[in-house]
Amino acid sequence: MKNLYAYLLLVTCVFTSCNSDSKKTAKETPKAEPYRLQQTVYFGGDIITMAGSSPEYVEAVVQREGQIIYTGSKAEAIKRFEGKADMVDLQGKTMLPGFIDGHAHFGNFSSQAVGAQILPPPDAGANNIPALIEILKAWNTPENRALTGWIFGAGFDDSVMEEKRFPTKHDLDKVTTEYPIMIIHISGHFAVLNSKGLEMLNITSETKNPEGGLIRRENGNEPNGVLEELAAIPYYGKALTPKSKEAAERFFNAGQDMALSYGYTTAHEGRAFLENHGFLSDAATANKLKLDVVSYVDYMVVDTLMNTKWYSKNYTNRYRIAGMKITLDGSPQGRTAWRTLPYLIPPDGAEEGYLGYPAIPKDSDVEALYHKAFKNDWQVITHANGDAAMDQMIRTMGKVSENYDKKDRRNVLIHGQYVREDQLDDFKELDVIASLFPLHTFYWGDWHSQIIGKELGNKISPTRTALDRGLRITVHTDAPVALPNLMRMVGITVERKSRSGKVIGEGEKLTPYEALKGITDWSAFQHFEDDKKGTISKGKLADFVILDKNPLKVPESEIKEIVVLETIKEGISIYKK
């Protein structure tokens, strides 16, 4: 996704006035006599440490004041701590380290949680345009409209709707012509408005297409309601900015609660602009954050934000800036990812031979950004989906890296859907971590096989090949492109089955343990936090998640249905189902 995140997160405008009283946590360990320290012994379930190259279990874990102080046998734990700690029997449930998404957009969880639920099944019910219309009609209440003044939702997906087309203003006018509507495509690169929405934004037949964007037309030059890229993105804030303190509080709480319910103890903000950084830093200042949020600043604002106190290896009230984000192309499912081979099905209005396009056409501009990151020792994460974009990343980063000493930079490729095997070797040489996106195999595996062909479609998110070639990898949700359901992601990474049940790349499957490493140990390493997080080990933070089943012991087909029962951050329960 591109600039969607900046505009979705204009909620910052009113956030600072939110009520600072937070909802009481589901379970708080009391500091009662005869001991003073907050201590907890966990036992009675499958406790998977995630510390080794193969599964390791311990019978008991003890945390004190948010830090793990013991792992080992239950008998020894009881002998040492009975009467001095709270005893928590897991009753056969499974404990893992707290989850760390390799890449997402945490600040956008709010809009996804609050807006009309227009995702297709299994996340919601928008499987065709009539269903989409009915969902929007049901959401169209005075209370909901009062949030921003608009009817809004994100996640409609033309690739899986029965009509295989975008809705238009004519479809949305069936919901209402009295109030403005904006719905955002699942890729984040397109929006659709009703007639009232077009009117409010003053988009008419006289409005010219902006550079880097397109207003789709009908009957000559009349807008049909569909806006692409920079014709859409600058307007997102109009529909998604809360209009009151109460609305802002509802947005923030809904987004954070959703993350906690999926086991997040560390969330990733994958493209921070001034607005969404303000949203997150204000939340931190107000002590609203219950989980850690690690943020990567868009290259357009690094000169401003990388010089603030928030850029640090350490968290301030659970927030920190960790590095810079560069975006080199767009969305593969939206067909704006930049490729070396043409899409088999060009998007509406595009000619045969269409390759997508770069976000930063000049190599010299990309080189300048990498020079800035290397010179300042900033970790840099780079969004690239098409192989042409990754060629650009390799040649520019490779050229720049020759001017600097080799060191532990942990630069990251984000997404890499259409990465070629030779490019994986190049990324290994550049010491780049590959944060891949195997959720695509379920959500858009069938669609990829149509737009780039079955053979190449089976090679999307090549997690096994990347591991076998010696790369460090993580996996991610890119939420709100999909729901931030990390156990569903783990299951899909293992199964690699599409919506239709086809296996998308049999040879690219990870084992359940490897998939879990991708959101615990390996992801902690990606974020330079492996000394504190990612495994259940003595000396690390007491960040845990408790699941209803053991992902290593159920059939692979059941992993994606596993439910988070409790999320624990530094020894304190912050979510309980």
Which residues are CB-contacts of 575 (< 8 A; sequence separation ≥ 6)? Answer: 25, 26, 257, 260, 261, 564, 566, 567
Task: State the SS3 of 174-242.
Answer: CCCCCCCEEEEECCCCEEEECHHHHHHCCCCCCCCCCCCEEEEEECCCEEEEEEEECCCHHHHHHHHCC
pLDDT over threshold 50, residue 23: no
- Decide if pLDDT at 25 tops 70: no
Condensed to tens digits (0 to 9), the pLDDT of residues 480-536 reads: 888 899 999 999 999 999 999 999 999 999 999 999 999 999 999 999 999 999 999
List the strands of the sheet with 433-436, edge to edge.
99-100, 264-272, 292-298, 319-327, 379-384, 412-415, 433-436, 473-475
pLDDT of residue 13 exceeding 80, the answer is: no
**CA 69 to CA 56: how far, in whole Å?**
18
Q: Per CATH, the architecture of 4-17+104-240 is what?
A: Roll (3.10)
Closest to 172 (Cα-Cα) out of 195, 198, 199: 195
Q: Of the given ranges (237-241, 254-258, 292-296, 444-448), which has the lowest mean pLDDT? A: 237-241
At 366, list the tokens: 């990309």
Beta bridge partners of 323: 296, 379
> Residue 123: which of 503, 443, 440 has the closest Cα?
443
CA angle 481, 487, 492 (to 5 degrees): 70
Q: pLDDT tier at 27 (50, 70, 90 boundaries)?
A: very low
pLDDT on residue 11: 37
Starting at the earlier edge strand, list the strands of the sheet with 151-156: 151-156, 181-185, 190-193, 222-229, 213-218
- Model confidence, pTM: 0.88
Q: Which residues contact 368 (CB under 8 A, 6 or more apart)?
A: none
Which DSSP state fits 37? Answer: S
Rounded Cα distance between 561 and 287, Å, is 33
Percent of the chain with pLDDT strictly greater than 70:
94
Query: Could you read off the pLDDT of 360-412 as tens digits, one per residue?
Result: 999 999 999 999 999 999 999 999 999 999 999 999 999 999 999 999 999 99
Phi then psi for residue 135, to 5 deg, are -65, -45
pLDDT-above-90 percentage for the chain: 81
Q: What is the pLDDT of residue 24?
A: 34
3 state SS of 131: helix
| Nearest by Cα to 189 from 437, 4, 448 | 4
C-alpha 509: how far from chain center: 21
Considering Cα of 448, then 450, then 452, then 455, what sign does the dihedral take? Answer: positive
Of residues 331 and 98, the one with the higher pLDDT is 98
The 10s digit of each residue's pLDDT in 115-145 is: 999 999 888 999 999 999 999 999 999 999 9
> What's the confidence (pLDDT) of residue 212?
67
For the chain, what are the domain ranges? 4-17+104-240, 250-576
CB-based contacts of 134, cutoff 8 Å, min separation 6: none
Taking the C-alpha atoms of residue 246 and residue 15, their distance in angstroms, rounded to an integer, is: 9
Q: What is the pLDDT of residue 21?
A: 34
The DSSP bridge pattern shows strands 544-547 and 94-97 to be antiparallel
- pLDDT score at 349: 75
Same fold, 4-17+104-240 and 250-576: no
pLDDT (mean) for 444-472 = 97
Nearest to 237 by CA among 179, 268, 294, 279: 279
The predicted-structure confidence for 403-413, as pLDDT tens digits, reads as follows 999 999 999 99
Residues 439, 492: contact at Cβ < 8 Å? yes
Cβ atoms within 10 Å, residue 350: 15
Domain 250-576 has CATH 3.40.50.10860: no
